[in-house]
Each structure stands twice: as C-alpha cells, then as structure tokens.
Amino acid sequence: MMQKFENFTEMELSQNMLNALRDKGFANPTPIQQQIIPRLLTTPEDLIAQAQTGTGKTAAFGIPLIEHLDETSRAIQALILVPTRELALQVSEELNSLLGKKRLSITPVYGGQSLDLQIKKLKRGVDIVVGTPGRVLDHLGRGTMDLSNLSFVVLDEADEMLNMGFLEDVEKILEHTNPFRTTLLFSATMPREIISIARNHMNDFEIVATQKKVQTVDSTEQIYYEVAPREKLKALTRIIDMEPEFYGLVFCKTRADVDELSRQLIELGYQADGLHGDISQSQREKILSRLKRKQIQILVATDVAARGIDVHNLTHVINYSIPQDSASYVHRIGRTGRAGKAGTAITLITRGERRRLLYIQNKIKTQIRKERVPKPHEVLKAKRHRLKLEIEQIASNEISEDLLNLAAELVMDNDPVRLVAAMLKHSYQDTLENSRQEEMHGERNGKNGKTRLFIAKGKKNGFTRRRLVEFIKSNTGIHDRHIDDVEVMDSFSFVSVPHGEVEKVVNSFPKGKSGKRRPLVEVAR
C-alpha cells in the first residue's frame, strides 16, 4: 500500500518544486495528489484516476511531469489532451505556475487560435503540449507536430471528451505516439468506452480512486422554482432584482437559447453577455475578462462553453434550462459557493420537468428546496431598501464643501422631504419604475425596459458623459432621466435608453459611410 503523505515536504520533491508550491500557497496535498504524485515520482506507471473537477488533479499529474522532464530536450516530452480550449488554457496556466526556475516550454494548442502562431512555437521547441484533440490532429496531419519521443501522455477529463465525440480522434493521436510512454487517464466517470481506450492503449494500468463523496457543494443553497415556459424570463429577472449584488452564471441548453436570453437581458438593462461554441476565441477571452472585472454581472452560457471558466466568488448559478443529468447539475452548481463563501444554485423547471429534477435530487442525495417566484411588490421593496442603504453610504462618506453649501441653500428655501424626493425622481426613478409597473399591472411592461446602445464616438470626439446626454436629449426630445448607464471611453460610448426610443437615438447621429465602417449607433453586443 502506498504511503500517505500529509505534507508536500514529506514527498521526494525537488527544492525548486517545493518553492513553487510554497509560492502558490500549497502546503497539504489533496487526496488525489496523495495517491498519484508518489507513484509517478518513483517509477512512472500507467494509471487511471477517477477524479472530479476541482480535486487538484492538474497538480497531481503536473508535479511529477515537471520533475521528470529534461530541460535540455528539443522534442515534445509530454502531451496533455483536454476537451475544450478553455481547459487547455487553464491547464497550461497551472503548469506554468508550477515550473519555478525550471526551464520548460509549455504551449496550449487549440482551435480558434492562429495555426501559424502555433507552428512557430512548435518549431522553436516545446516540452509540453496541452491541446484539444481536433487541433492536435490538424498538426499531425500537417507534419508540424512530432510525438515519437513522448515520455508522457495525459488524457484529462476523458469522459467529457467521450461526451463531445472526441474518442476516435484521441485513438488516432495515440497511434502517433511513442509506445513506451507513460499514459495517465483522468475521468470523473468510467463508462465502458473509457475502459476500452485504456485496454487498447495502456500497459498494465492501475485504477486509482479517491473516496467517493456525495457530488455536491455543502456551502451551496439549492432551490428550484416551477414556472410556465413563457414566465421563465420574468422569474429570472425577479430573482436577479431581489439580490443586492447578483454575480453569476445562467445556463441554457443551446447556443440559440444563449443568444436569445442574453439579448433579452441586455435590452432590459442588465449587464449581461453570452458565451457558446460559435464565439471566437478572442471574443471569448474579452468576455471572460469583463466577467472577472465584474463589468458583466450575468454570463449566459452553454455547458460546453463554461468548461474551464475560472471565476471566483460567484453568488449564483441559475439553471435556466434544467441539466441533462446529475453530473451536469453538480458541475454547474459547483461553480458557486467557492473559497468558503456561501452560494445559491437555482433551477427553473416547468411542470413536465418535475420528474427529471426529482431524479437528479435522488441521485446526488441532497435536498433541492421548492420556493415561489418573488412577487412584484417584494422586488420593489428590496430595490427601495438597497437604494436607501446606498444613499446612506454615500452620505457617510466625505462630501465637498460646495455641495454641502448648495444643499443648505436648498433646504433653507424648500421642504427637505420634497427635495429628497425630487433628487430620487431625477436620479433613481428608472431603477424603481419597472418593478412599480409590474406591481401595478402584474407583468413586466416591455415598453419600460431599456436597450443598451453602442455609440462609435467618445472622448476623442469631444463627448463627456454630460455632453452625450445633452446631445441625445436635444436631438431626440428624450428626457435625461430616461438616459441611463452612460459610459464614455476614448473612442466609443455606451448608453441605455427605453426600447421605444432606440430609433430616435440612431437617427440623431450622422450616418457612417455606407459599406466602409460600422454604424455610429447600434445595439450593444
């Protein structure tokens, strides 16, 4: 039986690796690392490891790989196959953080990135390739990648590669590799197709599994709402509006669903965007960067597109479409409640989906609590409470003498309560208007929603926030209280206006030269 090490310092690791682990704040190995690292450090052997995402499996195979590989080699020594480009980038980043002072070159290889750029890197010499099956096959077909000198092959998230239809590609790739390599296979589940790959391409492999735990997150509150299909959007917006600082992922089933829901949320004035497989890699990276900086509060995504997203402190995960199975459900909700913080997972179901949710609940042995969708008056009350706290917080901070003097003059000549009400009407009326309309009419009035517009003019064109609002107001007649969320950058701006006023704003700007440039004003993407 393999000795169990409670601390990395007890393992036979180089000082360089110990320093790298210390710099990352890693002191104690996870269960999968305790089982994998010592085995591979002594005499590398073929292994199958059953491990979930988030168990530390990248370091489990990455640490011994880095310790064994030769800094002086010019050939590819290790190939790590992953199902998605996000995971390729994530694994590459994690391995680079473990290098310390060891001079090894690690290159991610995936579709959506320039082939020429990848070929240049491969020609210069790469020690570790982290790639998606399709792009690795492209390079093999072009003769730009040589796998004949490999010491290690790692199949990461093999069951996900099976689900995405990549196993045939994986087998073709393995046929191009050095037969004397060490092969490591990591998978959360062990379907027969995965075992078949192991039997055909691995030598005397051993299966390693950590103690199986209930697949859920203890710190995640799990709730579901039963709604009619046409009421889903209304339920989602009420859930978001009830939260003081919503910051989360909303999962949809298809790419078309992602596009439609993200468009609807943007038109309603939410800071949202969508992510799916048809989005280019450069655009994907921009969207994720905006999400990490909290310039987006809601990211709508498909399951596949969300693989490898490394964003911390999400408050919510919402299943706008019910997951296909319990594994998908667990993977989704595991993205909230991280770093010791509580998170909330919400699933929206229709009446016909009760049975599937009950199956998921029984499978993961947990309780998913049923609740009712918040009423309009409850949303309005929550908004008012947040507004009160926000104003009180502003009042507690330092305020300029000029503003205090102006306030004193106003109070001297006017009723203070009416003054405050006037300021609220001027600055915050739209924040409360939609909920008030919904409370009165029983539904969210679409005419009161907002559309986010991109304007291809900014500070370089003489616009400030005030000047942009005045320009739109004077050219369209729209009251400035209906012009929201104005952002003015160097060469472009964003502004939110009521749905019914979009055409007026578009027509207020001079037209760009036809066919030569994008319109000066268009709905923000």
pLDDT, one tens digit per residue, over 410-445 is: 888 888 888 888 877 776 665 555 555 555 544 444
Q: What is the reported pLDDT for 447?
A: 40
What tens digit of pLDDT does each residue of 156-193 get? 989 888 878 899 999 999 999 988 999 999 988 888 89
- Within 13 Å and on the Cβ side, how many CA atoms surround 166? 23
Complete DSSP assignment for 454-520 = EES--GGGT--HHHHHHHHHHHH---GGG-EEEEE-SS-EEEEEEGGGHHHHHHHSPPPPTTTS--S
Higher pLDDT, 429 or 466: 466
- Residues near 258 by beta carbon (within 8 Å), at least 6 away in sequence: 252, 274, 275, 276, 300, 301, 302, 305
Rg (Cα) of the chain, in Å, rounded?
A: 27
**Cα dist. 446→215, 260, 349, 500 in Å?**
40, 16, 23, 9
CATH (residue range 8-209): 3.40.50.300
**Strands laid side by side in the 206-209 sheet:** 106-109, 128-131, 78-81, 152-155, 182-187, 47-50, 206-209
| Domain residue spans of the chain | 8-209, 220-374, 377-441, 449-523
Highest mean pLDDT among 144-148, 245-249, 388-392: 144-148
Mean pLDDT, range 122-149, rounded to an integer: 95
SS3 274: strand
Mean pLDDT of the chain: 84
Place of tokens 């959360």: 188
Q: What is the reported pLDDT for 444?
A: 40
Place of tokens 């037969």: 179
Per-residue pLDDT band for 93 (boundaries 50, 70, 90) equals confident
Q: What's the rounded Cα separation, in Å, for the pair 115 and 121?
A: 10
Dihedral sign from CA coordinates of 143, 145, 149, 152: negative
Asked if the domains at 8-209 and 220-374 fall in one CATH topology, the answer is: yes
**Cα dist. 249→142, 262, 269 in Å?**
39, 11, 17
Q: What's the rounded Cα separation, in Å, for the pair 47 and 480?
A: 65
Query: Which two three-digit tokens encode residue 395?
Result: 């009042």
Higher pLDDT, 203 or 17: 17
In terms of Cβ atoms closer than 10 Å to its own Cβ (0-12, 13-18, 19+), residue 39 is middle
Mean pLDDT, range 326-352, rounded to an integer: 79
Q: What's the rounded Cα separation, in Å, for the pair 276 and 264?
A: 16
Query: Which two three-digit tokens encode residue 106?
Result: 């690690």
Higher pLDDT, 459 or 63: 63
Per-residue pLDDT band for 146 (boundaries 50, 70, 90) equals very high
Q: What's the rounded Cα separation, in Å, for the pair 365 and 214?
A: 7
What tens digit of pLDDT does each residue of 504-517 get? 888 887 765 544 45
CB distance 520 to 456 below 8 Å: yes
CB distance 469 to 483 below 8 Å: yes
Q: What's the rounded Cα separation, in Å, for the pair 157 and 272?
A: 29
Per-residue pLDDT band for 499 (boundaries 50, 70, 90) equals confident
- Within 13 Å and on the Cβ side, how many CA atoms surround 461? 16
SS3 251: strand
Per-residue pLDDT band for 107 (boundaries 50, 70, 90) equals very high
Mean pLDDT, range 389-394, rounded to an integer: 82
Q: What is the reported pLDDT for 446?
A: 53
Lowest mean pLDDT among 39-43, 63-67, 75-79, 86-90: 86-90
Q: What is the reported pLDDT for 516?
A: 47
- Within 13 Å and on the Cβ side, how many CA atoms surround 397? 5
Q: What is the reported pLDDT for 506?
A: 85
Lowest mean pLDDT among 39-53, 113-127, 131-145, 252-266: 39-53
Q: What is the reported pLDDT for 443?
A: 42
Q: What's the rounded Cα separation, in Å, for the pair 166 and 155?
A: 11
In terms of Cβ atoms closer than 10 Å to its own Cβ (0-12, 13-18, 19+), residue 433 is middle
Instruction: Please name the CATH architecture into which domain 220-374 falls.
Output: 3-Layer(aba) Sandwich (3.40)
SS3 505: helix
| Element holding 183 (H helix, E strand) | strand 182-187
Quick one: which of 207, 158, 205 has its CA closest to 181? Answer: 205
Dihedral sign from CA coordinates of 268, 273, 274, 279: positive
Q: Is the pLDDT of residue 95 over 90?
A: yes
Q: What's the rounded Cα separation, in Å, for the pair 324 and 328?
A: 6
Per-residue pLDDT band for 385 (boundaries 50, 70, 90) equals confident
Complete DSSP assignment for 194-234 = HHHHHHHH-SS-EEEEPPP--SS-TTEEEEEEE--GGGHHH
Quick one: which of 472, 502, 501 has its CA closest to 486? Answer: 472
The one-letter amino acid code at 116 reads: D
CB distance 308 to 108 below 8 Å: no
Q: What's the rounded Cα separation, in Å, for the pair 515 and 213?
A: 59
CATH class (in words) of the domain with range 449-523: alpha beta
Mean pLDDT, range 458-471, rounded to an integer: 87
Q: What is the reported pLDDT for 54?
A: 62
Query: Which two three-digit tokens encode residue 166?
Result: 């990549």
Q: What's the rounded Cα separation, in Å, for the pair 465 and 470?
A: 9
Q: What's the rounded Cα separation, in Å, for the pair 128 and 143?
A: 17
Q: Is the pLDDT of residue 17 over 50?
A: yes
